[in-house]
Structure formats: C-alpha cells, structure tokens
Amino acid sequence: MSIRRKLPPFTALTAFEAAARLGSFTKAAKELGVTQAAISRQIHVLEEQFGFPLFLRLHRKVKLTEKAMALASAAQDAFDLLANSVAEISKGDHDPELTIAATVAFSHFWLLPKISEFSSQHPEINLRIITQDDMPNIESSDLDVAIRFGNGMWPDGQAELLFDDEIFPVCSPDFAERAGTIASPKDLLRYPLISNMADDPTWTGWGEWLAAFSVELPKKKPGLRCSLYTDAIYSALNGQGITLGWRHLVEDLLAQGRLVKLTDAALKTRNAYFAVVPKRRRQSEAAGSFLDWLTETVNPAASPASKEAQPKRSE
C-alpha cells in the first residue's frame, strides 16, 4: 500500500494542524480563509477515520485529547519541514539572507560594532537585524538566530551558551574625577545613580546590585531614570551620574576610555547570553556560519585557527 493511501486527506490535516496550534476552530478558520463550519467538517473527517475524538470542545476554545497530541506534534513538524523546504528552493540562486534578533542593548553595544567582521568574512550573506526587547517566538517567525539573556530554557528554541556577565558601576572620566575615591559600594549613595526601567525580571537594577553588598537603596534616591539601558549608558557618558555597566556591553567604551569603572566591586549575573535557534526548523548554512563566528568572537581560544597556533605538548 502506498504512503498516500495511509495518510488522511491533506485538507483535513491542514485544518487539524491549524486548530491544534491555535487552540481554536475560529482562529484556524480565519488563518486558512474558510468558515468555522468547514474546519469542523474536516476535523470530523479525521475523527471518523481514526475512530476517536481529537478535541475536547470547551467554552470558546478546544483542547487536544491525549491521543491527538502525538498527531499534532507530528503534523506541525511535517508542515514546518515542508514550508522550510519550499522556502529554500524558492530562493533559487539569490544570495542567502540571515535574520538575527537581539535586544536593543546587545545590538547597540555588542553586535553592531562587531558584525562588520562577519560581513567581511561572508560577503555573500545578506544580513537583517531585528532590534527589540520583546523577543518574538523563534519557531513561528522568520528568525534564524536570536540572542537572548536568560537561563537558556526557552520552549521555542535550542540555546547555545555565549557568555555570562558581571555588573559594576561606571561613569564618565570627568565624573569619576569629581567623585574622587569610592572606598565601598555604600559610598555610591552620595552621587546621582542612573537607572533604567527594565520590564525584564532577569535584569539587575541598583536595588539588587547594592543589596548584594549589604547596602540598602533609599526609596527616594535622586537620579535620572531612563526607559532603556542604552539611554542610561549615554547619560553616564555625558556626565549625568553613575550607572551599572554590564561588562560585555560596555567593554568597548571602557577600552576607549569613554567610561571608567568606579570600584572593583562587581556582581556576577545569575543568567547568561545565549544564541537561540529554532528546534523544528533545519538550520541554514548562513546561520551555521554566524554561530561559528559568534563562538570564535566570544572565545577566540576555542577557534580552529587558535588551536592550530598553540604549541603542541611533547609526548
């Protein structure tokens, strides 16, 4: 018997996959451009063929039955693979495109200053960089790689560790000269502290940083409050006060002498930066090249060239 005879009707599988993914016959109908009744009929066709219900009909939503969960997972994998294959062959002979997502701070201070190195190594790859703090679902978008900060556990992607970080107070050289010696973290309270109002619970603010050194942040401490971390850094660059510098984000500014560390006190982050790629989608050659470049940039000692240059140990 041919495989086609073993498979349910493609139209019915399409309706089932959409309803399972969206959890709604109405939303599936809207996505596929048909009526809700048409979706219900196609689901009924499958249920008749299998001999058991695929969905529990609840108020304003539907829920997969236990038996249907395996079918839903297989259907989504199959449709994703088919869609990706169609996308690949549709590109023809055009140059490959790589879509990367990163937060505003990471993109501004780390990725964009370094990405020209990747472009010079791979001039055939067209880059598209999406900068936003609210990260989209990587499985349901056209992203190839997302740079995220967190614990590495995201259901929509497979994460590869880039680096953890440490946080310490920074300011402009002129402000540091005016401030004088900072003997302990408590001394920072004498000066304006620049903060940013991050919605991300993994982001460390002044309250948490000072608490790590047994210092309580006053409730009405004067200081500039910014909506974005980039604004806080630029405010510090312009002498507005002291802000928290994340080492990997401000290392270039420190090397250029535009920012200075005020104290050796530093707090290790609980989380880290990861490169995240889709789990179900086949990785493109361009994405693989970018991940290799990231690894070599973050850890030059691990690159093949560095390993070849290291002297061999005598046997």
pLDDT tens per residue, range 189-228 = 999 999 987 667 778 999 999 999 999 999 887 789 998 9
Tokens found for residue 197: 């109002």
What is the β-pairing status of strands 97-102 and 126-131? parallel
Q: Using N-to-C axis directions, what is the helix angle for 112-121 and 285-298, rounded to 10°?
A: 120
pLDDT reported for residue 10: 85
pLDDT reported for residue 245: 96
The CATH number given to 3-90 is: 1.10.10.10
Displacement of CA 132 from its chain's centroid (Å): 10
pLDDT reported for residue 4: 52
19: CB partners within 8 A, 6+ apart = 25, 27, 28, 39, 43, 55, 62
Q: CA 144, CA 146: separation in Å to the nearest integer?
A: 7
Contact 25, 62 (CB under 8 A): yes
pLDDT reported for residue 310: 44
Quick check: pTM over 0.75? no
pLDDT reported for residue 128: 93
Q: CA 228, CA 222: separation in Å to the nearest integer?
A: 18
Spell out the domain ranges in the chain: 3-90, 93-299
Which parts of the chain register pLDDT below 70? 1-5, 83-95, 198-199, 301-315
pLDDT reported for residue 115: 95
Contact 77, 47 (CB under 8 A): no
Q: Where are the alpha helices (DSSP H) in the chain?
A: 3-6, 10-22, 25-32, 36-50, 66-90, 104-106, 112-121, 173-179, 206-211, 229-237, 247-255, 285-298, 304-309
Q: Identify the CATH assignment for 93-299 out of 3.90.1660.10, 3.40.50.300, 3.40.190.290, 2.60.120.10.
A: 3.40.190.290
> Which residue carries 């309580």 as its tokens?
216
Longest alpha-carbon distance in the chain: 84
pLDDT tens per residue, range 128-176 = 999 988 877 887 788 899 999 999 999 888 999 999 999 999 999 999 9
pLDDT reported for residue 189: 94
Tokens found for residue 18: 């959409």
pLDDT reported for residue 170: 97
